[in-house]
Amino acid sequence: MNRRNFIKNAGAFAALSNISPSEIFKSAMPDQLKSIRITRTDSNFEREKLIRPFGFKGGFLTELWQAVARLDSENYKGNIGLGTQSVLYGDADLFAAHSETGGNAMMYALTEKALQTAKKVPFTTPVELFDKILPSVISQGKRITGKQDLNLNFIYNAMVSVDNAAWLLYAAENNFKTFDAMIPAPYRKALAHQSDKIAIMYQVPYGMPMEDLKKAAQQGYFVIKIKTGHPGTQAEMLQKDIDKLTQIHNTLKDARTNQTKNGKLIYTLDANARYEKKETLLRYLDHAKKIGAFEQILLIEEPLSEKNDEEVGDVGIRVAGDESVHDEAGAMRRLQQGYGAIVLKGIAKTLSLSMKLAKLAADRNVPCLCADLTVNPILIDWHRNLAGRIAPFPGLGMGLMETNGDMNYRNWAEMIKYNPAAGASWSQARNGVFELSKEFYQRSAGIMEPSAHYQQMFPAV
């Protein structure tokens, strides 16, 4: 159909459907996107202390740096993106080899390099910008850290604030007012759902007191995310993991919820790639069966080390790929090995990469969930936008996302105030879920509104 006939037919359809021809034309014809050139960049960061050492991947964090990136174009200034740095998540070996501050300093230096690289590259969508600058950022990351086998997750984590700023600049340049409007055409189908609820994955780190966990269940949390992969040798890790699962299950086995069909709480496991062999994982799951916890396990995230290629389709529960899913090829590798879900981390690996992975998963009817990086309140809303738009997770009938900042940041109450959508109904946990209203989708959770706190970190020019 040529353009003239399309417009004629669109007008006829509009008369019957009460939709303007311009809206029909905009949704059906190819996007006309502006070519964007960054004219100025800037960055800053804040150090946020944690309430107690936060353990996973066999290590412990005591603070998280909040990276802030600014991108200007000739037409639009002050587009600010945030990122929470987690060197332990990004590259556990690098984290162990340096002081915590030293690792954070290297990641922040890489963010600055990514900004300088982006300044040289015209783009139409942030996904295009991400693809164009990634090879250079990888090279710079290896040079900054002196680590030739630097994990890609470290690279991605350093790029999050830059990527988010690019999304906001892209939205401004193209006059996109909502998250839905700014989703590029190839990814719209994968992000077309609008769930009215997201189940909250309540995280249980290594040292959490069981009294705290009991209170969480009483408050209505029903998806309990258990951190496995304790520090130590594989044998020591397994024993500690087994002991912890026994302790958790004894605390929660009689708890009930109205959010699941059988009334029982749901467990998810997150090993952060600490298990070197499938055999060790199976021993852990055998113990779960022995104590009656196995039937309550919905999934396990990234149990095996990234280099482990063992088939996992026969372990008896759904296995989700996380750290090893560096790109679409990595996702396909894991799916071929029997993995049955993909973890999206728009707040750790960039929204641009997450859109690609969401599309790959949706095209193959593979469910996704959104896991946290202990991010700040504004980034939680970025992730909530993603979690609300992917298909509901099987067995739950709603989206699934983790958020744990409130239980880990010392300064959480003050950080909430930085969010333009602070106090919004969708940010309040109710009976273990976030309830997503019509306003949530219309307002895009507030992520496109400026934060006075972060804006004042940069000069007005």
Strand-strand pairing, 79-84 and 197-204: unpaired
What pLDDT, on a 0 to 100 scale, did the predictor assign at position 112? 98
* Domain spanning 38-182: CATH 3.40.50.620: no
205 contact partners, CB below 8 Å, separation of at least 6: 54, 55, 56, 227
| pTM as predicted | 0.91
What pLDDT, on a 0 to 100 scale, did the predictor assign at position 191? 98
> Which token pair is 156?
């991605």
What pLDDT, on a 0 to 100 scale, did the predictor assign at position 1? 41
What confidence tier does 12 reach under pLDDT thresholds 50, 70, 90? Answer: very low
User: Per-residue pLDDT for 461 more than 80?
Assistant: no
Q: What is the mean pLDDT of residues 265-275?
A: 95
- What length does the chain have? 461
Cβ–Cβ < 8 Å for 363, 370: no
Strand-strand pairing, 197-204 and 399-402: parallel
Assigned fold of 188-455: TIM Barrel (3.20.20)
> Which token pair is 235?
């044998």
What pLDDT, on a 0 to 100 scale, did the predictor assign at position 22? 38
Residue of 272 and 104 predicted with greater confidence: 104
Residue of 28 and 318 predicted with greater confidence: 318
Q: In what order do the strands lie in the sheet with 38-56?
A: 38-56, 59-73, 79-84
H or E stretch at 276: none
Separation in Å, CA 227 to CA 10, 124, 204, 240: 54, 40, 6, 11
What confidence tier does 14 reach under pLDDT thresholds 50, 70, 90? Answer: very low
What pLDDT, on a 0 to 100 scale, did the predictor assign at position 18? 45
H or E stretch at 456: none
Q: What is the mean pLDDT of residues 155-162?
A: 98
Nearest-10 Cα torsion for 448, 451, 456, 457: -80
Q: What count of other Cβ atoms lies within 10 Å of the Cβ of residue 329?
A: 9
SS3 assignment, position 97: helix
Q: What region does 175 belong to: left with phi over 0, alpha with psi -120 to 50, or beta?
A: left
Report the chain's C-alpha Rg in angstroms: 22
Q: What is the mean pLDDT of residues 124-144?
A: 98
User: Per-residue pLDDT for 282 more than 70?
Assistant: yes
How many Å separate Cα 233 from the centre of its chain? Answer: 29
What pLDDT, on a 0 to 100 scale, did the predictor assign at position 17? 39
> Which token pair is 265?
């709480």
Domain spans of the chain?
A: 38-182, 188-455
Cβ–Cβ < 8 Å for 345, 374: no
Q: What is the mean pLDDT of residues 294-315?
A: 96
Residue of 404 and 27 predicted with greater confidence: 404
Q: Report which residue type is found at 85.
A: Q
SS3 assignment, position 117: helix
User: Per-residue pLDDT for 4 more than 60?
Assistant: no
- Percentage of residues in the chain having pLDDT higher than 70: 93
Nearest-10 Cα torsion for 184, 301, 99, 61: 100
CA distance 246 to 284: 11
Question: What's the whole-number average pLDDT of the chain?
Answer: 92
User: Per-residue pLDDT for 19 more than 90?
Assistant: no
Closest CA to 176 of 57, 73, 33: 33
Q: What region does 292 belong to: left with phi over 0, alpha with psi -120 to 50, or beta?
A: left
What single-letter DSSP state applies at residue 126?
Answer: H
CA distance 408 to 405: 5
User: Per-residue pLDDT for 31 more than 90?
Assistant: no
* pLDDT one-digit tens code per residue, 378-391: 999 999 999 999 99
Q: What is the mean pLDDT of residues 436-457?
A: 97
With tokens 């509104």, the residue in question is 449
With tokens 């095209």, the residue in question is 363
* pLDDT one-digit tens code per residue, 65-78: 999 999 999 999 99
Q: What count of other Cβ atoms lies within 10 Å of the Cβ of residue 226?
A: 25
- Percentage of residues in the chain having pLDDT higher than 90: 89
* pLDDT one-digit tens code per residue, 417-441: 999 999 999 999 999 999 999 999 9
Closest CA to 442 of 79, 185, 194: 194
> Which token pair is 444?
């895009």
Furthest-apart CA atoms within the chain: distance in Å: 72
